[in-house]
Each structure stands twice: as C-alpha cells, then as structure tokens.
Structure 1
Amino acid sequence: MAIWDKKFNDRINQDIPLSTKLSELNLLVVDTETTGFAVGKEDRLIEIGAVPITGLKVQEHETYQTYVDPMRDIPENITALTSISQSDVKQAPQALEAIESLFLQERTQLLHGLVGHYLSFDMQVFKHELRRSGFKFQEPPYVDTLDLLSFLVPTWEMKDLAYYASVFQTRIYDRHSALGDALTTAYLFCELCERVMERGITTWGELLQLKSSRVL
C-alpha cells in the first residue's frame, strides 16, 4: 500500500533559500535502468541507484540500489547492456514500492534536490511508473550535469557519461549499472561544481538557473 496520498509528494525540502551556498547543499544523485526508452508506453523500470552528496563530497557509504520487477520480459539487448537478467528482478519490488523506498523520509528529509546525468529521462521514468499506480509525481528541484557542461563548454555535443568523466578525470564506475552510473555522475558533478564556482556560480539559485541556459 502506498504511504502517500494520490499526489505523490516527495519529501525533499523545496523551501531551501536560493542563496544557500553550493558547499552547504545536501543532494541525492539518482540513476535508473529500464527495459528501453519508451517509458511512456511499454518500457519499464528495472533498477534504481542513488548516492548522496554532502558539502560537495560523495557519500559512498550511504548508497541505495534496488532492482525492480518490470512485470514484463527484459529484452536480450538490455540484458547484454546492463547485465540485468530476469532472475535478478524475479524477487524484486515493483516500481511503486522501489520509488517509495528511494524517497523514504529518513533519506530525503534533509535533501535540497536531486542530481543526475540526463536526469530528465529518470524523472519521466518516475512520472510514468507512478501514473500506472494512480499517483501524480511532483517533480523535485534538480540539476543535470548536462546543464553544468553546457555552461562550461557550450560548444560540446551531448556525449556518453564516461566520456565526460574521462575528460574531467573523475572516477568511472560500472557503466549501465544504476548505482555505477550514479557514482560516476556524483564525482563528475562535484568536479563540475568546483569549476562553475570559479566562474561565479556559488549558490543553489544560480545553479538551478543553469537549466534554462542549456544548449546541448
């Protein structure tokens, strides 16, 4: 049974002052794996990974990972890409329970927002999975590494996460694993924040404004 009413309210603090310094933020880096890209139609969630960032430091000891039962077969090409098989998800929670677990109060009550690489896709995954259970997802404040990259290097085309991590010499974990990609994104994000601060972006409000300037 869902622990919230029909409006799925995450428990992220949306009243944080926009003047809050980046070095004071508590953020959660999120990544998902799915059976394909048509998440508004037949494709479903199969894994969630997350890792907190506190004060621009990655908290590897507090990671979150769960497989998710998609209630359908996982295509062979997705298993080849992600290494997630039908046996991995057989005893896993379904999407609503997995998303609720991600947004547990104990995990999110002190969070200021989410972070991800191409996070708009993950937000769509949550939106459609919750809609299937009759819930409306209230999108929390979030920042995409693509926004920071667009600000720092506006001529770049969108490339693979590992490419950016390699260029900025940050850690690279297992690719196409939700937790591995979340960790890779977390370290890349912290490095990018250091660089945008050198360009005068020092507050939460200024970081959020970068979303409107993306040209990637």
Structure 2
Amino acid sequence: MIFGRKPLCGQIHKEIPLSTPIDEVSFTVFDTETTGFQVATVDRLIEMAAVQVEGLKVCEEVQFHTFINPNRQISQEIIELTGITDDKVENAPTSIEGITRLFKFIKENNSNCLVGHYVLFDIVTLKSELKREKYSLGRMPTIDTLDVIGYLSPSYDMRDLHRYAQNFGTRLYERHTATGDALTTAYLFVELLYHFKARGKRTWGDLLQATENQSRIF
C-alpha cells in the first residue's frame, strides 16, 4: 500500500506577478545547523533562524530563531563548531514543531521567497525531517545566493559564506550559528541585489530567470 505525503502547512508563500519590481518582493533569508552533513540519513536538525528582507533592506528587528531537539547526542566536533550543546537543545521543540513555527513566521510576513547560501542543503534538511514524520514541504520559490553570485561573477568558484561577504564588503556575523549565518547571508543578498539591478535587471521575473536552478522550487 502506498501512502501519500501531505504538505505540513499547505502553501506557505504569497505569489506575485513576475513583473513585480525586486524592491517590492519580500524575502525570508534562513539558515539551519545540524549534527552533521548526512541529513537524509543519520544527522538531524538542531537550530534554525531567519530574517526578513523588505525593500532591499535587512529588517533585523524581524527575526525568527529556535533550537531543535534532535533526540540524539551532539558530537564534540559540532559543539565546538556551533556552540550548541546537548543542554541547549534538551527542552527545545521537535523538528516538526520548529519547522511549523518557521512556516508561521514566513506566512505572517507575507514572504514571497526563501533565500539561503547553498540553500539546497537547508532544503534537504527540512525535507528529511518532514519525511520522517510523513509530511512534505509545500511549494515555495527559493533563491541561492550562490546562483546570484554565479550570474554576476561567473569566475567565483567557492562556497564559503564569509569569504563572499568579505569580498562584497558586507556585514559579518558569528559563524556557524543559524542567526549569525542568516544575517550574514541577508546582507550579502541585499548587496547582490543592488549589483543585479545595476545590470538593468529589475523584476521578480528577472531574478528567477537569472537564478534558474533545479532546486529553486521545493
């Protein structure tokens, strides 16, 4: 017998015309931290954070953050990398509860798109957590800052968020924390959008076309 998977929260974004100016698009920039890189199998989500970008400005006052209880011990390597200990996640919500809260944040802010740096990893993390509970993700556009950089400067060939932020002269926040990386990504993304507009690309449709990627819509 085959069981279908139901979206956790249905449609979680606000659709807009492709002709909408980029300045009028609402973005939710987010990041996840996990117990390791094998999120489809043995590793688990332990932290999520998000910040809104509106009118090509980072709204630091509009943030989301939660730790997640992975129901497993966090390795010393990850503790040293992220600063997240077993004590910090002991009373944290489950992955389903945390992801539901993230989706509520997205809806409440009328977001049109999720943004991340190497966002495919974050999407796979969410999908894997939901799959374990027989849920799926509703469809929502996603944009990877790596794709925007690839459009603007095809010669770049690296993934390190902080090196890109340094190269583009944007703000740097604490590394390997969901909030810090979300904020760093948000400021990098806004700078990239200004460069994008300087190329004469000014609409939501232009941005989607320039960052066309198999993983863009989940």
TM over 0.5: yes
Alignment-mate amino acid for residue 204 of structure 2: W
Residue 184 (structure 1) aligns with: 184
Q: Give 1:177 shift.
A: 0.3
Q: Give 1:159 shift.
A: 3.0
The 1:10/1:172 distance shift into structure 2, 3 A limit, reads farther
- For 1:61 and 1:6, the matched residues in 2 are separated by 33
- For 1:150 and 1:213, the matched residues in 2 are separated by 11
Residue 56 (structure 2) aligns with: 56
Residue 167 (structure 2) aligns with: 167
Residue 142 (structure 1) aligns with: 142
Q: Give 1:152 shift.
A: 1.1
Residue 76 (structure 2) aligns with: 76
Secondary structure of 1:62 counterpart: strand
- For 1:185 and 1:122, the matched residues in 2 are separated by 13
Alignment-mate amino acid for residue 38 of structure 1: Q
Alignment-mate amino acid for residue 79 of structure 1: I
Which ranges of structure 1 fall in alignment gaps of 5 or more residues? none
Residue 47 (structure 1) aligns with: 47
Residue 30 (structure 1) aligns with: 30
Deviates more, 1:191-200 or 1:204-213: 204-213
Secondary structure of 1:174 counterpart: coil
Alignment-mate amino acid for residue 88 of structure 1: K
Secondary structure of 1:11 counterpart: coil
- For 1:76 and 1:105, the matched residues in 2 are separated by 31
Which ranges of structure 2 fall in alignment gaps of 5 or more residues? none
Normalising by structure 2, report the TM-score. Answer: 0.91
Contact in 2 for aligned 1:11/1:108 (Cα 8 Å):
no
Residue 129 (structure 1) aligns with: 129
Alignment-mate amino acid for residue 112 of structure 1: N
CA root-mean-square deviation:
1.6
The count of corresponding residues between Structure 1 and Structure 2 is 209
- For 1:100 and 1:135, the matched residues in 2 are separated by 11
Residue 88 (structure 2) aligns with: 88
- For 2:11 and 2:53, the matched residues in 1 are separated by 18
- For 1:124 and 1:213, the matched residues in 2 are separated by 15
Percent of aligned positions that are identical:
44
Contact in 2 for aligned 1:28/1:115 (Cα 8 Å):
yes
1:207 and 2:207 equivalent?
yes
- For 2:192 and 2:29, the matched residues in 1 are separated by 14
Deviation sequence 1:157-181 (CA, Å, 0-9, x none): 1231000110111100010000100
Q: Give 1:212 shift.
A: 2.8
Residue 12 (structure 1) aligns with: 13
Contact in 1 for aligned 2:13/2:107 (Cα 8 Å):
no
Alignment-mate amino acid for residue 184 of structure 2: T
Contact in 2 for aligned 1:11/1:109 (Cα 8 Å):
no
Alignment-mate amino acid for residue 17 of structure 1: P
The 1:211/1:176 distance shift into structure 2, 3 A limit, reads same
Secondary structure of 2:212 counterpart: helix
Secondary structure of 1:64 counterpart: strand
Residue 116 (structure 1) aligns with: 116
Deviation sequence 1:39-79 (CA, Å, 0-9, x none): 10000000001000111111101111110000111111111
Alignment-mate amino acid for residue 175 of structure 1: R
